[in-house]
Structure formats: structure tokens, C-alpha cells
A and B are shown apart, each in its own frame.
Chain A
């Protein structure tokens, strides 16, 4: 049995979509008149096309518009991560903060302090010609305290976005 080509298949589909016109349409009609394989393929594609055409527009519930308008001030629910992901993120941030705090109390960062001279840095030495760059003073304890502070702020934001705000919004929505 003769096989139809990809180009013929594509043209059959365009024909069903009503996108073939003029000479291209006439050409396909002529081919359909002489090729039983092409006719058969058209009859295989037609029920699929007819079935999909029944793909009608669905209507939402009658209160749809009211619900949208009522919740406009609420903001979109999906902008927040899921509570599960939020809790995992929160746990990660808290563990990191806890470890930093423990290391800080154990005095791990007490020795890390001093100053860095940019001019003396090996990769930069050859580019620095004038000794005018300032020295940077580093205090390990202070840096870690800042990191812990940032972590705690982050933890609060995660708690608010993933648990507190969605919870209160849901309560407001049910009220």
C-alpha cells in the first residue's frame, strides 16, 4: 500500500483547518481523487478534528466575578512558596544561624581579625603603581554577627511569606 509523505500529511491537516486556498487546495483535491491512501488518512484525521472542534468554551460559576472583586485587595495567593518548601527553607536558615552562633560563642572567629592591604595582594601587585589604596580592617566576630542578623531577617521574611500571610489570607477569605 502506498504511503503518504510528511508534506501530504501536513497539507491534509492544513486542509482540515481551512488554511489551504487557491492552487494548493486544488492540487490537494486532485491528489485526493487519485490516492486512496490520502483519502484514508483524511478519514482518520477527520474524526480527531471534529472531536477537538467540540472543545467548547466553559463557563465558571455564577459568583466568579464577585469573588475576584472581593479578593482584589487580598493579593495573589500563588506568589508565595508552598508551606512545605517554606518550612524547609526556614529550617535551613535557622540551622545556619544556629551553627554560626555556636561557632561565635566557641570563639572560632576571635582570631580572625586584622587588615587587608589591597596593594599587597599578589594578583593586584603588578597593576597597583601608586601606594594610595586604603587598608580594609576586618573583624571576624563583627562579620559573623552581621551574617547572623541577615539570616534572622531572612528567616522572618520566609516565615511571613510562606506561613503567616497565606494563613491569615485564607482565614480572611473564609470569613
Chain B
């Protein structure tokens, strides 16, 4: 993890024209950025492309970064918005890919714990905003405040979404387990 001084020094170097410094920033934040894009898009190649595009945008907008927030928070917001615009653009294509992914997932489901499979299925029934909120919230090291900043939502709205999503997942899991028990 880079300290604030190191981060600022790298940003200064990038603004002075050193692309190697930007490579260090990309290397530092690539995994979080890619994970955010993956949570939005649910598809690795698309997420990789969106994350790359987000980093390129951030590079071009870097002059406008006012350093009031952490670079990472600012960057993740760009990555999130880029991934959302990819999702809107490729919605039709994504639907068919997601369908394919679900089929592949059900094949590997046999190897996993039943409860996990049921929760995973229940996730698909959550509304888009709630699903994203809970997935981003559970990415290690992201606080509620950071996710709110990233997604441009108010903290209270986000908290309600996270609680509601978890509540619905628990209810759905209970319902499925009851149904399963009855069919045995």
C-alpha cells in the first residue's frame, strides 16, 4: 500500500510526463479496480477492458484531480462509472454471456456447498443496485463511506441497500432450504 506522500509524488511525476510512474500506480491499484469492474460486469474479459479503459481515462483526467480525496477513491469512482457505461452499452451481449456463465456455474455447483449455491442463485434475484452495493461493500478494505463515494450514493442509502440485500438473501436461503427439506 502506498503512503499518501508516495502517491502524491507519483502523481507529480506522471503530471511531469513520466509514464513509468503511472505504471506503478496502475500496478498498485489494478486488482481492486479489476474487482470493482468484475462486480459490475460479471464477465472477466469485459471487466478487464473496462478497468483498462478506466485507468486510461484517469490518466487523461489526472490534471483535474484536486487531491482532496485519496487517489484510489477518485480512481475507483472512474472505474465504477466506466464499468457501468460498458454494462449499459453491452447489455444485450452481457445477458447472453451471463446466461452462459450461469450454465457453467451450475455444472460446478455439485462440487460446492449447497448453501453457497443457493445464496449464489439468490444473488441473481436481487435488484441490480442492491446486488452491486452488497458486493462492493464486501470487497475487503472498502468501508461504507468509500463505497458511497465510489458509487455516488449517500451513505444511508447504501446502508439500507446492504441491509436489505442481506435480509433478502437470508430470507431466500431459508425459503429454499425449507423447500429442499420438504422434497427429501
Please report A residues at the B interface, Cβ cutoff 8 Å. Answer: 9-10, 13, 41, 44-45, 47-49, 51-53, 55-61, 64-65, 67-69, 71-72, 74-79, 82
Contacts and interface: CB of A to CB of B under 8 A. Distances in A.
Contacts of A71: 52, 56
Contacts of B12: none
B166 A72 contact: no
B23 interface: yes
Contacts of B169: 48
Contacts of A10: 163
A13 B56 contact: no
Given A57-B140, A68-B23, 17 more contacts: A9-B163, A13-B163, A13-B166, A44-B174, A45-B170, A47-B115, A47-B119, A55-B135, A55-B140, A64-B26, A64-B48, A72-B19, A72-B22, A74-B56, A76-B57, A78-B53, A82-B89
B19 A69 contact: yes
A61 B53 CA distance: 15
7 contacts: A41-B170, A44-B174, A48-B170, A51-B120, A57-B140, A68-B56, A75-B56
Contacts of B139: 55, 57
A65 B26 contact: yes
Chain B CB count within 10 A is highest, among A59, A60, A75, for A60
A44 B170 contact: yes
A60 B56 contact: no
Contacts of B115: 47, 51
A21 to B, nearest CB: 16
Contacts of A76: 53, 56-57, 60, 82
B89 to A, nearest CB: 6
B55 interface: yes
Interface residues on B, range: 35 or more
Interface of B: 19, 22-23, 26-27, 30-32, 34-35, 38, 44, 47-48, 51-53, 55-57, 59-60, 82, 85-86, 89, 115-116, 119-120, 134-135, 138-140, 162-163, 166-167, 169-171, 173-174
Contacts of A60: 30-31, 34, 47-48, 51
Chain A CB count within 10 A is highest, among B56, B89, B163, for B56
A17 B56 CA distance: 35
B178 to A, nearest CB: 11
Nearest to A71: B56
Contact of B166 (A49, A55, A56): A49
A78 B166 contact: no
B136 to A, nearest CB: 9
A74 B174 CA distance: 51
Nearest to A61: B48
A58 B26 contact: no
Contact of A48 (B31, B56, B57, B173): B173
Question: Which 9 pairs between the two chains have the least Cβ-Cβ distance?
Answer: A60-B34, A55-B138, A52-B138, A76-B57, A44-B170, A48-B169, A68-B55, A51-B119, A45-B170
Contacts of A13: 162-163, 166-167
Contacts of A44: 170-171, 173-174
B52 A48 contact: no
